[in-house]
């Protein structure tokens, strides 16, 4: 029984003990406060906590989709500790932990940290879901094979992901000349915001296989809505567009998991964490639908 004199404990969506118990929760939120390879501005390590704190201000009913996603049960893990030996070792740890959660039958929401953490999450999902495809929201192409002496630098995230599952990307507005050539030559499905608007959400959906993993680098958004990222790029996606695309994807595909990364809270107003929390909550609702 809840003691009304107290606030609920700190967890995603500020849920009571019942709704957030690991055993019965369909969803597990995994905070990964890791930002070792970021080269511009640091601070994504504070992202997971900021998102979780912001989630306490949400109504549990999502008026945008007409659902109460928390009814699936959402458990929030303690923060994954960084392996400071090397980025590679940290990616391995993430893959291992996400894999254990998947094997326990959970729907895993990974909160970064830098975008690199997605590599571990994608690998864990790809290993367990044959034919998986990846939908990436990002402002950058991130297709470098190696950067600053590492294959696991955040600038290589989509290259690493693409090695285990085909990547479709939206939000592109920054790419090296080499990345741009690669996209052109290999006809990769990388969409700038205007390309997305021209092609329509359905064109993106059709590039995906039945089972989809979604990786969201929050810099896909326009900096007006999401300034709290290390390398903001003008001319990005807007909330309504992202929300509409996620709705379209979930209409015909099965989303098996997702991550939300690169929130660097001190670089923008608190509304950024709020957006991130609401985005995660909405995507849980869209992916899992109403409780039967």
| String of DSSP letters for 174-239 | B--HHHHHHHHHTT-EEE-HHHHHHH-HHHHHHTS-SEEEEEEEGGGB-TTT---SSS--SS-B-H
Rg (CA), the chain: 18
Binding residue (CB under 8 A) for a second copy from 227, 247, 248, 288: 227
Give the span between the Cα atoms of 31 and 53, in whole angstroms: 12
| Total count of residues recorded for the chain | 292
Q: Is 159 a binder of a second copy (CB under 8 A)?
A: no
Q: Is 189 a binder of a second copy (CB under 8 A)?
A: no
Give the span between the Cα atoms of 232 and 229, in whole angstroms: 6
Q: Of 88-96, 119-127, 158-166, 252-260, which segment contacts a second copy by CB under 8 A? A: 88-96
Binding residue (CB under 8 A) for a second copy from 243, 249, 258, 280: 243
Q: Is 274 a binder of a second copy (CB under 8 A)?
A: yes
Three-class SS state of 97? helix
Burial category of 53 from C-beta neighbours within 10 Å (exposed 0-12, middle 13-18, buried 19 and up)? middle
Binding residue (CB under 8 A) for a second copy from 231, 265, 281, 284: 231
Binding residue (CB under 8 A) for a second copy from 21, 89, 104, 291: 89
Binding residue (CB under 8 A) for a second copy from 21, 40, 104, 291: 40
Nearer to a second copy, 209 or 239 (CB): 239
At its nearest, how many Å lie between a second copy and the CB of residue 131? 30
Site for a second copy in 18-37 (CB under 8 A): 35-37
Site for a second copy in 106-125 (CB under 8 A): none
Q: Is 291 a binder of a second copy (CB under 8 A)?
A: no
Q: Of 120-128, 142-150, 158-166, 249-257, which segment contacts a second copy by CB under 8 A? A: 142-150
Give the span between the Cα atoms of 38 and 131, in whole angstroms: 31
């Amino acid at each position: 029984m809840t003691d009304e004199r107290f606030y609920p404990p700190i967890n995603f969506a500020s849920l009571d003990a019942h709704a957030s118990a690991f055993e019965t929760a369909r969803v597990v939120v995994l905070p990964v406060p890791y930002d070792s390879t970021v080269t511009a501005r640091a601070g994504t390590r504070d992202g997971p906590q900021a998102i979780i704190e912001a989630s306490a201000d949400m109504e549990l009913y999502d008026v945008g989709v007409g659902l109460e996603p928390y009814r699936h049960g959402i458990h929030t893990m303690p923060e994954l500790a960084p392996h400071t030996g090397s980025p590679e070792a940290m990616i391995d740890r993430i893959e291992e932990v996400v894999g254990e959660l998947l094997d326990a039958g959970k729907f895993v929401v990974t909160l970064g940290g830098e975008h690199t953490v997605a590599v571990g999450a994608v690998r864990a999902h790809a290993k367990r879901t044959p034919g998986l495809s990846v939908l990436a929201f990002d402002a950058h192409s991130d297709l470098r094979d190696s950067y600053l002496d590492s294959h696991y630098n955040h600038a290589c995230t989509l290259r690493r992901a693409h090695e285990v599952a085909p990547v479709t990307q939206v939000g592109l507005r920054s790419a090296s000349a080499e990345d741009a050539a690669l996209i052109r030559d290999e006809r990769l499905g990388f969409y700038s915001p205007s390309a997305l608007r021209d092609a329509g959400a359905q064109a993106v959906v059709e590039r995906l296989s039945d089972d989809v993993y979604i990786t969201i680098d929050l810099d896909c958004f326009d900096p007006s809505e999401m300034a709290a990222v290390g390398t903001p790029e003008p001319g990005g996606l807007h909330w309504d567009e992202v929300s509409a695309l996620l709705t379209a994807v979930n209409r015909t595909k099965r989303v098996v998991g997702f991550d939300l990364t690169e929130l660097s809270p001190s670089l923008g107003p608190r509304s950024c964490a709020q957006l991130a929390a609401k985005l995660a909550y909405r995507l849980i609702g869209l992916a899992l639908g109403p409780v039967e």
